[in-house]
Structure 1
Amino acid sequence: MPEPQRAPAAAQAPPRLRNALSAVLLVLACLLLPLGAVASWAAHGLTDTGRYVRAMAPLSADPDVRLAVADALGDGVLRETAHDLDTGSLRGAIAPFVHDAARSFTRTETFRAAWDATNRTVHDAVVRALRDDSAHGAPVTVDPAPVLARVKQQLADDHVPFAHRIPVTHTRIALLPAEEADRLRKGYHVLETAALWLPLAAAVLAAAGIALAACRRRAVTALGLGTALGGALLVLAVAAGRRLTLADLPDPLHRPAAGAVYDALTATLRTVSWLLCAVGLAVALGAWLTGRYGARRAARRAARGSAAPAADPAPRPMRGRV
């Protein structure tokens, strides 16, 4: 009598083990998928100069960004002319006019052209420094002369007085110190590796988890729900990153401009996050509907098969002729 009791337990052990291993693989795949999306966005999305410039171009018309740039330009002009002003009262008297001129400049087409040119020059310099391993120990610098020459030409074409007298000198402006540039270079190489292997590992783990599952349709449903959950968590992470980034800024007046820049840079990542949610829910819903339709179809076939023998009429006994 003990043998019949052991046989069912031995028969049920392998499916349980397979389901447990499949669940572990699917959970790992669902965790690696959003991480791979972040790594791909950081390694390929942020380092594409053309995409970066197109993402930042609409910000030249943002009121908060223009106000922040105008304040920075006005303060820079006042610092450069501080040695020409004898008293602080004179500087305080001309400061409103300088800031008004800077705000007027940010509403011109010349400012938009300068904005795009500056973003392209700065981004290209940073990306080249991150990809160049021979630049170890060197700061990231940029030459503003090409941008100044373009602005000067645009002002001259607009017949702005004394535009031809704007000096265009070649100098190097430090963007990142050497220590920070080396640290970012190492992080960039790590992101490049993660952007290549994390999505591939997630795909392999997902395929293995589905193959090992005793019920593959349930495994596909679980994978879809896990993918949607990972996309939702990524949406929350982007929102939390925005809140933390703006909270760390020392100047609360420039937080709206920083928020606009953050939103422009993370627009692709937010799109990918919502896409993961939509695709995951669609896959889970499709697997669930397919399972229900298959179960109903099997039940109908079973019902037809059981009713077929009962439908055959019993043979009537032969009556002989009298």
Structure 2
Amino acid sequence: MTPEFPYRLWCPVPPRIHPRNTELINEARSWLDRFPLVEEEKRDWLARFSAEFITFTIPDGLDEREAFLCRYSAWGFSLDDRADRNLTLAQREFVDFALRLVHTSQAPDSRLLCDDQHALCLADLIRDMRTWAAPPQMRRFHEGLRSWMFGTAWEVGARQLPLPDVDAYLSLHYPAVAAQMEACVEVGLGPEVPASEIYHPLARAVQEAAFTTALIDNDLLSSLRHGDDVGHSLNIVNVLRNEQPSTPQEQAITQSVGLRDRIFKLALDLNQTAQRKFSQDTRNFLDGIIAAVPGNIAWSLNSVRYKIKDICPDLTHEQFLKAATQTGGPSDATTGPPPYRSIAWWWDQS
């Protein structure tokens, strides 16, 4: 029996998975024994959870680079869990920790965090990366980590503040969720993307629109998992309802789906324009950015941690994915920008 979803995500791009998925999970599991980031009984699920995030979202990565990203993903998810376990952490304390961690990524022998396991592990990852990544890729990787930590610091502080409006949410939440993934896609695919192209407004719009789609997808899948019990958390559905207090949960979900469909349609259209404008390496990179969106949906529905599939455990992953997505067309076919100034400039690139 097909489950009834409160929405279906428009996604005309089919998800794919890296052909070495199983081997990469096993390699990540072996690596976790070297760095006790989590208790031994949690290492199997962390290895699978983090490796499959990479193999689903970056399905065309070069084997050795894909393996590196699976290790880095395990490091990142364990760091997220560490922050989530300490919900009373003051923003100033996290900022101090985060800046020391970012400096560790630039100077892995600095030991600003002494014997902190996450710092030691990051230093090991960066030493490895320096042996094969081009200097501009290293720089973008550092910038991505800095943006991620800065965005996470905002999240930590936002726990004690009223929910932001939708416009602020889309721009302020983005670094914590997506900034690092831009660098990971480039690193995974291999070639260095020319700076004059990767920072071009058209290319930036493709990247930001695609990963904002993924950000909203994460929020919607979270609301699917928790129903009305999402509390005061930073979630597009909560933010919409806070901005429009009379909006019922179901309507807020419908509006969120419509917004993400409009944004993803723009990302796909802009990528088509970019494919006629940029070099082959940039075209491949932007295609990789687009591929991360269906990959993120497929990974989330299959995740051993999120347990969304428990809604209907008898379905295969393919059947479950079909029930949660649709390819017929965006639920909101409006072509102009939504009323959010922080993202409206994307539409100017079309």
> How high is the TM-score relative to the length of structure 1?
0.30
> How high is the TM-score relative to the length of structure 2?
0.28
